[in-house]
Structure 1
Amino acid sequence: MEKQRMFINGEWVDAISKNTRTIINPYNQEIVAEAAEGDERDTKKAIEAARKAFDQGDWAETPAKERGEIVLKIAQLIRENNEELARLETFDTGKTLEESRADMDDIANVFLYFAGLADKEGGEVINSPFPDSDSKVVREPVGVCGQITPWNYPLLQAAWKIAPALAAGNTIIVKPSEITPLTTVKVFELMEEAGVPKGVANLVLGPGHNVGAELASNTDVDLISFTGGIETGKKIMQTASVNVKNIALELGGKNPNIVFADADFDTAVDQALNAVFFHAGQVCSAGSRLLVEDSIHDKFVEKLVERASRIKLGNGFDEDTESGPLISKEHRDKVESFVEIGKQEGAHLALGGKRPEDPQLQDGFFYLPTIFTGCTSDMKIVQEEVFGPVLTVEKFSTKEEAVSLANDTIYGLAGAVWSTDIEKAEFVAAKLRMGTVWINDFHPYFAQAPWGGYKQSGIGRELGRPGLEEYTETKHIFRNKKPEAINWFK
């Protein structure tokens, strides 16, 4: 079995400690790889390499068009290696191969988008109020960027960070989740092939409590970008204050899916299933809160339960599998604890709430699609992110009540509204305190549109032009064409 190694200062290396971690397939706990397990020492080496490459190298001064060409080459190599990457992603996460293939297409598109945007952000000339002068605003790279990515979309989330950072001229240290490193390692191989200079892109494998903590606390790191849980995000934010780092945080959501009585019923039911049970609910934008107008509530729930009960769980490599396992035993334990809390809070368990009994699924970390009805906004299962195949259902009577319920959490990542009354849908969309709102749809995203949240869902944006701007600093340059003495002091 080939060991997955780290990439530091242009070389593939083992951890200084020689420690390794076993990577398993969550479908059956089969060992699929062995990976180097780095710590603070490896992280410091990577930071040192990135710092030197930024301060003494040519990457930041390389013409933006040339940087864009390298990012474009990465996109092309991802497309050429789509199938291998997709298979690695399914081994890593347990998701279906069909979903992994779609992820790779999206990832290539992200690199393609930022490759094209690299030389389009040259700054602007602004009018100076002073005579005989000119004034311009330029954008420059932030510097050394630490990037910490999650396990649910290992390479997609890495792409959202790597592509704009490189396009803008930064140097990077990437720390993928220690349990899902395979596709990130492979893409670093492709980045090396594409011609990313030595020290510009570095990869450190290992747990967050030492690798991630070092990235956040090290004063040679200028920016920290993190996607993951809210409590970890808060710790990173506090630690990053040591040198007032730039921070970009995406910390999940408790996303409302609002269905009015005049919505296309069958489509709304179908999309409600996809919103919460896609990838076993392990999606930051999952529609885990379903708000249904009271006049159609019972009919809607009945149909939803019937459809959800037929979801096919299984091996991500099987064509008929619709949903794979949860990522780990620890995460399934967390989901199960939330389900028990829901029962104790008085929510009605309409479906699921247990592990599947199918003998073929006993070796994996599976959990049945679960639906709670009779939920209220004061319940913990309504307020907190479960990050699993668990749906809570609430009733509402008016659009104002729907908005009030939808906004009643600490999160503000995404939400959706379903109605054939576009004026009503637009009213609700305008009132929702969320970074993305879908009308008569759920989940679509693309590289051109910014992604991020309000409130405690995070700080900053990924994707779109704002996603590139996160990796730049704004500088104002003023030139006096006819300098002369002021003689203020006699």
Structure 2
Amino acid sequence: MQQPDNSRRDATLVDPRVKDFLRRPHRLLIDGQWVNADSGESFPVIDPATAGIIASAAAGGKRDIDLAVSAARRALEGGVWSRLAPSERARLLWRLADLIAVHAEEFAQIETLDNGMPIAFARDFFVPAACEHFRYAAGWCTKVSGDTVPVSLPGEWHAYTRREPVGVVAQIVAWNVPLMMAAMKIAPALAAGCTVVLKPAEETPLSALRLGELALEAGLPPGVLNIVTGDGGNAGAALAAHPGVDKVSFTGSTEVGRLIVKASAGNLKKVSLELGGKSPVFVFPDADLPAAIAGAANAIFFNSGQVCAAGSRLYIHERVYDEVVAGVAAIASQLRLGHGLDAGTEMGPLVSASQVERVKGYILAGILAGARVLNEERRTELGGYFVGPTVLGSTTPDMTVVREEIFGPVVCAMRFSDEEVDAIAVQANDTCYGLAAGIWTKDLNIAHRLASRIRGGTVWVNSHSVLDPALPWGGLKLSGWGREMGREGIDAYLETKSVAIHLG
């Protein structure tokens, strides 16, 4: 079994600018100023690869949320933001994207130290994707428009619609892809003309705070973007329930999503939810099997399985089952575990000790129910929150590992024998979730027919977890409400107003 070479991980790997950032006091961004939490308290920020404290962040609470929402309201209704030309908003968003690109290596290292992901993931995908979300949204600033409407009222009328910002937006993001997730929420909201109060996950607050620094450098007016760090039970709950918030956009677990819905009822604020998933991946016998094997493994082991669209249910046609499952298990047995800053690390830790306990609990439950681990057990000598990639065979649809979201590097392999699309779609839809699915086949007939029958927000064919700012993203059933990205992502932050003028 291959072990990581820990000798390559030392202080020289960390950029001096990142070291300086980590040493700084991390306060709350409210009304264009960095301020201490009202309580004066802070919480530790942990490197999940070592379980060591790398920084501390202000523990925001209800009073801080009140101040942030008030600042956002002032910026929306009486400040510079409400009077800014759309082209100026576009320039500010583009300028922020450029600043992220200039500081890309800093962001990559901050994400790795805070979240645990291999730095290649942050450097090559998540940080550039954050830039692209701001650039894509910038293009929409000058393209939000209404329509003239021919009405059938008696007399002569000029009727038209206006598209206006929904208002003050609360955005609560998860810890698995912190920077990109913040960007994909902040960018469309600002493009639509809204103002934002962002609450990053308490496990991973650092990249959002660095983003806040660059937002001020880019020239965002005070109160347009406010960032309050803190835990979900205090800062998050206060933000979701705040009567001064017009909309909540949340990404996280289905359980917390339900709490967000309840909290929003007070003033009937609008809610967008991007929640959990139990995404199926189907491998047909005609597929490019080497590509399908690599793709199926990446679908579940990428980012240590901490991906809402992770391909955690792997359905393989019986004619190629042995070859595919052996290939995925071999990849699982060879993936290099280690600290994200180590050269060659292919899979990092889980985000926290509680996540380790959760994932190990599901693996044990599966084994006790009759599942078999098909790959070599992986260990690391690092003291962080590691769980090795796990391929489970002999799984059945009634097992909890098959039915419930694990959010870790655990895949359940199952056979199918019927190539009838309707029967396969029943297996894909046999879940309370409806986020995504993957299909590996060269047969366009199967691909199109099955894609149309799957109850999910996204279907990939001969790929998995491929996102683009122009493609809408979101789920059905317990996977959430609404869509992010694309035109729908802008529309989520807009209201339609009808204006009817009686001309005589």
- Flag whether TM exceeds 0.5 (same fold): yes
TM-score bin (small chain): over 0.9
Relative to the length of structure 1, the TM-score reads: 0.96
Tell me if 1:103 matches 2:126.
Answer: yes
- Secondary structure of the residue that 1:99 maps to in structure 2? helix
In the other structure, the counterpart of 2:74 is 52
- Paired with 1:134 and 1:140, the residues of 2 have a C-alpha distance of 19
In the other structure, the counterpart of 1:84 is 106
Q: CA deviation at 1:56?
A: 2.0
In the other structure, the counterpart of 2:87 is 65
* Alpha-carbon displacement from aligned partner over 1:132-165 (angstroms, at most 9, x marks no partner): 2121111100111100011101111111110011
Give the AA of the match of 1:375. T
CA contact (8 A) 2:188 2:493 kept: yes
- Paired with 1:133 and 1:52, the residues of 2 have a C-alpha distance of 35
Q: Percent same amino acid at aligned positions?
A: 41
- Secondary structure of the residue that 2:320 maps to in structure 1? helix
* Alpha-carbon displacement from aligned partner over 1:117-137 (angstroms, at most 9, x marks no partner): 111111122222234212111
Q: CA deviation at 1:52?
A: 2.0
CA contact (8 A) 2:338 2:380 kept: no
- Which deviates the most, 25-34 or 91-100? 25-34
Q: CA deviation at 1:59?
A: 1.4
- Secondary structure of the residue that 2:483 maps to in structure 1? coil
- Secondary structure of the residue that 1:173 maps to in structure 2? strand
In the other structure, the counterpart of 2:404 is 384
In the other structure, the counterpart of 1:487 is none
* Alpha-carbon displacement from aligned partner over 1:102-126 (angstroms, at most 9, x marks no partner): 2111100000000011111111222
- Which deviates the most, 26-35 or 142-151? 26-35
- Paired with 1:240 and 1:308, the residues of 2 have a C-alpha distance of 42
- Paired with 1:446 and 1:25, the residues of 2 have a C-alpha distance of 29
In the other structure, the counterpart of 1:112 is 135
Tell me if 1:259 matches 2:283.
Answer: yes
CA contact (8 A) 1:282 1:388 kept: yes
- Paired with 2:223 and 2:323, the residues of 1 have a C-alpha distance of 59
* Alpha-carbon displacement from aligned partner over 1:324-347 (angstroms, at most 9, x marks no partner): 011111110000111111112222
- Paired with 2:160 and 2:46, the residues of 1 have a C-alpha distance of 53
In the other structure, the counterpart of 2:5 is none
Tell me if 1:480 matches 2:502.
Answer: yes
- Paired with 2:422 and 2:390, the residues of 1 have a C-alpha distance of 28
Pairing of 1:354-365 with structure 2 (within 5 A): 356-359=378-381, 361=382, 363-365=383-385
- Secondary structure of the residue that 2:331 maps to in structure 1? helix
Q: CA deviation at 1:30?
A: 2.5
CA contact (8 A) 1:61 1:169 kept: no
- Secondary structure of the residue that 2:229 maps to in structure 1? coil
Q: CA deviation at 1:294?
A: 1.5
In the other structure, the counterpart of 2:362 is 338
In the other structure, the counterpart of 2:62 is 40
- Paired with 1:216 and 1:210, the residues of 2 have a C-alpha distance of 10
Pairing of 1:277-426 with structure 2 (within 5 A): 277-351=301-375, 356-359=378-381, 361=382, 363-398=383-418, 399-426=421-448
Structure 1 residue runs of 5 or longer lacking an equivalent are 483-490
* Alpha-carbon displacement from aligned partner over 1:158-209 (angstroms, at most 9, x marks no partner): 1111001111111110000011111100011111111111111111010011
Runs of 4+ in 1 over 6 A off after TM superposition: none
Match of 1:469 among 480, 488, 491: 491
- Paired with 2:331 and 2:163, the residues of 1 have a C-alpha distance of 51
Relative to the length of structure 2, the TM-score reads: 0.93
- Paired with 1:275 and 1:357, the residues of 2 have a C-alpha distance of 21
- Paired with 2:46 and 2:36, the residues of 1 have a C-alpha distance of 20
In the other structure, the counterpart of 2:260 is 236
In the other structure, the counterpart of 1:126 is 149
Match of 1:137 among 137, 140, 161: 161
**Number of residues paired by the alignment?**
478
Give the AA of the match of 1:228. G
